[in-house]
């Protein structure tokens, strides 16, 4: 989540439009010391991403967000925040170092099997907004769909319950190659 977020619907939509302008070059996950690639410790409170290379992983939990860097050196940071009255995704057209002022742990996942098909391609990006997660709240962006060449990744402001159910509108970012039922309710 950005420290001192000044995100608006207009700024999120402008950042979204900039994503397909240049091919994706690299991807980094950011979190609170989660077991990201690169030797960061595993933190039981914030999740264990030490299985990022495992074939059986169903989702990744880069708790704070994902930095997308493009071949023209531009960047977008997809993180969670509460700019819309409740937790949702925020897309900021800046590198993570400009967004997160608390220097969270990070790890490069560019070569991971989920991201590798998208690297070097122009991405299609669609953002799904929803209401109903807080009384009187305005719609918030909850799910970002990134795709290219028939491969799609879903980034959401969500966490997973112990039973495996995706809980939307949460204070965390989840990446998944599958569309869970709660996310599908927002994207249709």
- Collapsed DSSP state (helix, strand, coil) of residue 184: helix
Q: pLDDT of 116-173, one tens digit each? A: 999 999 999 999 988 755 555 678 888 999 999 999 999 998 887 777 777 888 888 8
Contact assessment for residue 108 and residue 36, using Cβ atoms and an 8 Å cutoff? no
Q: What's residue 165's pLDDT?
A: 73
Q: How many helices (H) and strands (E) does the chain have?
A: 3, 9
What are the structure tokens assigned to 50, written together?
């030490």
Domain spans of the chain, in order of start: 9-187
- The reported pTM is 0.84
Contact assessment for residue 27 and residue 155, using Cβ atoms and an 8 Å cutoff? no
Report which DSSP code applies to 47. B
Report which DSSP code applies to 48. -
Contact assessment for residue 175 and residue 66, using Cβ atoms and an 8 Å cutoff? yes
């Amino acid at each position: 989540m950005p420290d001192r977020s000044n995100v608006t619907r207009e700024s999120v939509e402008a950042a979204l439009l900039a994503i397909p302008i240049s091919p994706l070059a690299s991807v980094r996950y950011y979190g609170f010391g989660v077991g990201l690639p690169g030797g960061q410790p595993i933190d039981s409170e914030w999740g264990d991403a030490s299985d990022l290379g495992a074939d059986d992983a169903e989702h990744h939990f880069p708790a704070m967000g994902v930095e997308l860097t493009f071949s023209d050196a531009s960047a977008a940071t997809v993180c969670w925040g509460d700019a819309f009255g409740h937790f949702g995704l925020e897309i900021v057209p800046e590198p993570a170092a400009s967004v997160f002022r608390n220097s969270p742990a990070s790890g490069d996942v560019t070569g991971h099997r989920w991201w590798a098909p998208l690297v070097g391609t122009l991405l299609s990006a669609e953002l799904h907004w929803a209401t109903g997660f807080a009384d009187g709240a305005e719609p918030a962006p909850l799910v970002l769909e990134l795709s290219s060449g028939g491969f799609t990744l879903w980034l959401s402001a969500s966490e997973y319950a112990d039973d495996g159910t995706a809980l939307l509108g949460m204070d965390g970012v989840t990446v998944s190659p599958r569309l869970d039922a709660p996310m599908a309710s927002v994207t249709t």
